A and B are shown apart, each in its own frame.
Chain A
Amino acid sequence: MMAVRIGVLSFAHMHASSYMASVNQHPDAVLAGIADDNAERGKKAAESFQTKYFDSYEALLASDIDAVIIASENIHHRALTLAAAKAGKHVLCEKPLATTVEDGRAMIQACKDAGVQLMTAFPCRFSPAMVRLREAVQCGTIGEILAMKGTNQGLMPGGWFVELEKSGGGAVIDHTVHVTDLMRWVTGKEPVGVYAEISNRMNHEVYDDCGLLTITFDGGIFGTLDTSWSRPKTYPTWGNVTLEITGTEGVIAMDMFAQNIVQYDDEGNKVKWLNWGDNIDYGLINSFVTSVAEGNPVAITGEDGLAAVEVALAAYKSNERHVPVKLPL
């Protein structure tokens, strides 16, 4: 098998670091280069991950790469995806796929027209705990699903994440999409309605940092999701992804990043959870590389990414009007 040559468009999102390390680690992939509109940041990343720095996105896209990973600010996902599609490169795009439905649709269409694949970066689907949860649900361990309770609570990430013109929103757009995708994946049902209470009481700034969503799925299953950037600075880790499913015959509770050793660090004056679980970002990269190499459909599509974005956008709308908002938008 020819190695899949991958370029990285922007190092703005911190996940780029883990994705680039995973590409380097992958036996069938080559990290062919990185371009970044912030040259200093891009050059540093190229050096860290022993790859070539390209002066422009165009130059990287004109090279002999097969695929790109887009890790820019959310607002640039559309333009970079369209450019990659035009250059005939497959795309793995960081979440949230887009900041508007229109952008998401344009990205999906452009990739379809160009005959390239568009994958949304939802690494949580590659968590062994999540895979096991889904298997248990599908073989009927807890009977019929009644309800789901999820959290993706984190530290306030700062930087461009809180500049709304670059991120498209605060905690709700940042932290709705992962668990919404897991809820869709485990139930096989589409969200049909969203209600949300959103606030900015953590940081008292223009961006939202607290969100409680209630999502209704086709057929009546309901779920709630806490998207808040509510972990204090002293919290032992960055945050969590949890999903608890209540069924007619029992309950399955997952705390995705619970495989930890607890460190009491006098030097750093902090208690830390040192995770020893599997690297889910590697699982994501492996899935993308394999699909591209073998020409098979990607495991998580642009449509999957957009469906999760729609829930976040509906949540903002719901919070403005204090009413449940119907989906699709």
Chain B
Amino acid sequence: MQKVAIVGSGHMGQCHAAAYAHIPQADLVALVDSRPNALIQAGETFGAGAFTDFDKMMAVVNPDVIDICTPTPWHKDYVLRAAAAGKHVIVEKPMARTVEESREMIKTAENAGVKLKVAHVVRFFPEFAAAKAQVDAGAVGTPAVVRTSRGGNFPGASGNWYGDPNQSGGVVLDLIIHDFDWLRWVFGDVERVYAKGNISREFGCIDYALVTLRMKSGVIAHVEGTWANPGAFQTKFEITGDKGMLDFQSLTSSPLTIATKNTEGAKGGVAIPESPSGRNPYCLELQHFIDCIENDSKPLITAEDGVKAVEIAMAAIESIRTEKPVVLSGGKGVK
């Protein structure tokens, strides 16, 4: 049994807290958040201790695993503190705001002899996992052009930290890092990145980016990330190859749509598509991490994978800034 403490009780923290309830080998013992109001409510909901102070939590509950779901800029600090205390760590994506911070986190965890898991949950989404299996099985032959799309409205969060690119890295580092990691997983390492985006332009709560990746294999990939679409959140992928094509669109892949009359009495109603599944990706992901910690087994995604994803995102941000393609070099980071 692993005693788990979650740091950060916002959207992701609560999402993870709900998932641990379904994991037999995990016992959620504490939630940590500097915002007492959000925290107490979350603590009650999940039946866990609520702490506004990390050190006090450590002293009181002495957890085995720290799951860090804070805004990105605090990831490194908490990973370092958890490692110093000899605790295993699960950290939300992106693992850090920079490649350098990410590497420092890995090194610290290694030196402390603790495990560091990076929560790239898209690898556990059934549709994305199925696509990987199909490509591996040759469903499209040799892959050629891949397109992904992800996004919806601008995300709301405490202090609007998503709206500050210095903290969140915008849509490129926070959102489409999901697709960067998945693309690397399926099609291998990235050689070159070219990107356009609004990260450096002042449009308030809007961010949008289009990124082109040239993989070392020769595959070319187009990644769209949007926090500028007032429609429903959606994901899409299209994988083309010399023997066929795989096409997925979340909005048309929903088996259920619930339409209701507008309660305000206006003429229109709302129709919300749903894709219910017995396989919750967050449960699958955290179950996997807990299994790896308990059995000392190799995870589906390594901390090194986490850095590589940050590296691609940072290259895209650099490309947006410099208006030039950025070449990635093996483990040496961004040129």
B102 located at the interface, meaning its Cβ lies under 8 Å from any Cβ of chain A in the complex: no
Q: Given A146-B206, A147-B196, A251-B228, A199 and B240 touching (CB < 8 A)? A: no
Residue of A nearest to B214 (CB): A197
Residue of B nearest to A231 (CB): B245
Check if A234 sits within 8 Å of B206, measured CB to CB.
no
Please encode chain B, from 242 to 255, with 1 for each CB lying within 8 Å of some chain A CB and 0 for all others.
Answer: 11110000000000
Residue of A nearest to B144 (CB): A201
* Chain B positions 216-241 with a Cβ under 8 Å from a chain A Cβ: 218-220, 222, 224, 226, 228-231, 240-241
B192 located at the interface, meaning its Cβ lies under 8 Å from any Cβ of chain A in the complex: yes
Check if A201 sits within 8 Å of B242, measured CB to CB.
yes
Check if B218 sits within 8 Å of A199, measured CB to CB.
yes
Question: Nearest Cβ in chain B — how far from A177, in angstroms?
Answer: 19
Complex Cα distance, B145 from A199, in Å, reads 9
* Chain B positions 275-326 with a Cβ under 8 Å from a chain A Cβ: 323-325
Q: Given A149-B210, A195-B194, A232 and B228 touching (CB < 8 A)? A: no
Complex Cα distance, B196 from A223, in Å, reads 8
B201 located at the interface, meaning its Cβ lies under 8 Å from any Cβ of chain A in the complex: yes
Complex Cα distance, B222 from A199, in Å, reads 14
**Which residues of A are found within 8 Å of B226, using beta-carbon distances?**
246, 251
Complex Cα distance, B69 from A73, in Å, reads 59
Q: Given A201-B242, A203-B242, A246 and B229 touching (CB < 8 A)? A: yes
Check if B242 sits within 8 Å of A204, measured CB to CB.
yes
A234 touches which one: B145, B147, B244 (CB < 8 A)? Answer: B244
**Which residues of A are found within 8 Å of B143, using beta-carbon distances?**
201
Residue of B nearest to A144 (CB): B203
B240 touches which one: A202, A216, A324 (CB < 8 A)? Answer: A202
Please encode chain B, from 178 to 211, with 1 for each CB lying within 8 Å of some chain A CB and 0 for all others.
Answer: 0000000000000010101010010100101010
Please encode chain B, from 128 to 163, with 1 for each CB lying within 8 Å of some chain A CB and 0 for all others.
Answer: 000000000000001111010000000000000000
Residue of A nearest to B149 (CB): A149
**Which residues of A are found within 8 Å of B2, using beta-carbon distances?**
none
Check if B144 sits within 8 Å of A322, measured CB to CB.
no
Check if B220 sits within 8 Å of A246, measured CB to CB.
no
A224 located at the interface, meaning its Cβ lies under 8 Å from any Cβ of chain B in the complex: yes
Check if A250 sits within 8 Å of B230, measured CB to CB.
yes
A50 located at the interface, meaning its Cβ lies under 8 Å from any Cβ of chain B in the complex: no
Complex Cα distance, B206 from A247, in Å, reads 9
Check if B206 sits within 8 Å of A248, measured CB to CB.
yes
Question: Nearest Cβ in chain A — how far from B236, in angstroms?
Answer: 11
**Which residues of A are found within 8 Å of B224, using beta-carbon distances?**
149
Complex Cα distance, B190 from A269, in Å, reads 39
**Which residues of A are found within 8 Å of B230, using beta-carbon distances?**
250-251
A199 touches which one: B144, B196, B231 (CB < 8 A)? Answer: B144
Check if B325 sits within 8 Å of A323, measured CB to CB.
yes
Complex Cα distance, B243 from A228, in Å, reads 15
Complex Cα distance, B206 from A251, in Å, reads 12
Check if B196 sits within 8 Å of A222, measured CB to CB.
yes
**Which residues of A are found within 8 Å of B62, using beta-carbon distances?**
none
Complex Cα distance, B224 from A214, in Å, reads 12
Q: Given A195-B325, A230-B144, A250-B230, A222 and B210 touching (CB < 8 A)? A: yes
Check if A220 sits within 8 Å of B201, measured CB to CB.
yes
**Which residues of B are found within 8 Å of A251, using beta-carbon distances?**
226, 228-231
Please encode chain A, from 77 to 92, with 1 for each CB lying within 8 Å of some chain B CB and 0 for all others.
Answer: 0000000000000000
Check if B194 sits within 8 Å of A232, measured CB to CB.
no
**Which residues of A are found within 8 Å of B201, using beta-carbon distances?**
220
Question: Nearest Cβ in chain B — how far from A314, in angstroms?
Answer: 14
Question: Nearest Cβ in chain A — how far from B193, in angstroms?
Answer: 10
B98 located at the interface, meaning its Cβ lies under 8 Å from any Cβ of chain A in the complex: no
Q: Given A202-B240, A251-B230, A146 and B198 touching (CB < 8 A)? A: yes
**Which residues of B are found within 8 Å of A248, using beta-carbon distances?**
203, 206, 228
Check if A230 sits within 8 Å of B325, measured CB to CB.
no
Question: Nearest Cβ in chain B — how far from A62, in angstroms?
Answer: 47
**Which residues of B are found within 8 Å of A195, using beta-carbon distances?**
194, 212, 325
A210 located at the interface, meaning its Cβ lies under 8 Å from any Cβ of chain B in the complex: yes
Check if A201 sits within 8 Å of B218, measured CB to CB.
yes
Check if B142 sits within 8 Å of A224, measured CB to CB.
no
Complex Cα distance, B219 from A232, in Å, reads 17
Complex Cα distance, B328 from A322, in Å, reads 13
Check if A214 sits within 8 Å of B194, measured CB to CB.
yes
Check if A224 sits within 8 Å of B144, measured CB to CB.
no
**Which residues of B are found within 8 Å of A226, using beta-carbon distances?**
145, 147, 222
**Which residues of B are found within 8 Å of A214, using beta-carbon distances?**
194, 196, 210, 212
Check if B244 sits within 8 Å of A201, measured CB to CB.
no
**Which residues of B are found within 8 Å of A147, using beta-carbon distances?**
196, 198, 208, 210
**Which residues of A are found within 8 Å of B229, using beta-carbon distances?**
246, 250-251
Interface residues, chain B, with chain A CB atoms under 8 Å away: 142-145, 147, 192, 194, 196, 198, 201, 203, 206, 208, 210, 212, 214, 218-220, 222, 224, 226, 228-231, 240-245, 323-325
Q: Told that A146-B208, A204-B242, A250-B229 touch, could you supply 17 new A-B pairs with CB distance under 8 A?
A: A147-B198, A195-B325, A197-B214, A199-B145, A199-B218, A201-B241, A214-B194, A216-B323, A226-B147, A230-B145, A231-B240, A232-B240, A246-B208, A248-B203, A251-B228, A323-B324, A324-B325
Going nearest first, the 3 A-B pairs with the smallest beta carbon separation are A201-B144, A222-B196, A230-B240
Q: Return 21 A-B CB contacts under 8 Å, by A number.
A: A146-B208, A203-B242, A209-B144, A210-B220, A212-B222, A214-B196, A216-B196, A223-B210, A226-B222, A228-B145, A232-B240, A234-B244, A246-B208, A248-B203, A250-B229, A251-B228, A251-B229, A251-B231, A322-B192, A322-B325, A323-B324
